[in-house]
């Protein structure tokens, strides 16, 4: 972030939300989760058939569109099912799981706490392909995943949560993050 006061305000806001959700700082420290700030500049990369707009940083949107077009040339259809997520949206996701009596330790294998989600950066994209249930492990068995594994790196995207990842998240073959434009202030 550009100044120390903004950074402190952001960190304090996250600390308050974590406390409200009952997420102990010790859990985050134990998992060694990277801290992310929300993207300051976003653009609508695309809008789906239901009218949902997906926001990304401008560089991520350009890379996504180029990658999607290259995949299409190889007869692979890539669809975005999630992109930028605000702190508020991440809180809703965690609260939904808490309201269903899911233990916080389990939640933190499925979802990052607010302030610790790559989606805040506007560079993370959850990807799917027709005929596959979104955000399910079966995505790894698709031609789209094979294509991404072979080609996404050339567009600046990396698989964030491979099997047995160090952060303790479940394997997410659908979650890819654009790294080519990652400014230092996105990860404090």
pLDDT in tens, the chain (188 residues): 457 888 889 999 999 999 999 999 999 999 999 999 999 999 999 999 899 999 999 999 999 999 999 999 999 999 999 999 999 999 999 999 999 999 999 999 999 999 999 999 999 999 999 999 999 999 999 999 999 999 999 999 999 999 999 999 999 999 999 997 554 434 43
Cβ neighbours of residue 11 under 8 Å, at least 6 residues apart? 35, 115, 188
Task: Please give the Cα distance from 178 to 127 (Å, whole number).
Answer: 12
Q: What is the pLDDT of residue 5?
A: 84
**Report field, pTM of the whole predicted structure over 0.85:** yes
Q: What is the pLDDT of residue 180?
A: 73
Answer positive or negative: Cα dihedral of 44, 135, 156, 165: positive
Active site residue 172: yes
Taking Cα atoms as reference points, which of 115, 145, 114 lies closest to residue 131? 145
The count of residues in the chain is: 188
Q: What is the pLDDT of residue 1?
A: 45
Q: Which of 38, 88, 172, 185 is catalytic?
A: 172
Q: What is the pLDDT of residue 44?
A: 98
């Amino acid at each position: 972030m550009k100044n120390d006061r903004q950074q402190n305000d952001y960190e304090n806001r996250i600390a308050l939300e974590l406390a409200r959700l009952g997420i102990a700082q010790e859990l985050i420290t134990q998992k060694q989760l990277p801290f992310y700030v929300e993207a300051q500049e976003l653009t609508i990369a695309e809008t789906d058939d239901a009218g949902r707009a997906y926001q990304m940083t401008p560089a991520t949107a350009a890379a996504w569109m180029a990658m999607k077009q290259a995949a299409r040339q190889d007869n692979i259809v890539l669809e975005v099912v999630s992109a930028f997520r605000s702190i508020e949206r991440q809180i809703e996701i965690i609260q939904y799981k808490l309201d269903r009596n899911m233990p916080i330790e389990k939640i933190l294998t499925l979802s990052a706490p607010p302030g610790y989600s790559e989606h805040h950066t506007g560079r993370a994209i959850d990807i799917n392909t027709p005929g596959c249930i979104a955000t399910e492990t079966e995505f790894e068995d698709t031609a789209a995943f094979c294509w991404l594994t072979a080609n996404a790196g050339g567009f600046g995207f990396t698989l964030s949560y491979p099997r047995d990842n160090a952060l303790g998240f479940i394997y997410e073959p659908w979650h890819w993050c654009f790294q080519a434009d990652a400014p230092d202030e996105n990860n404090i």
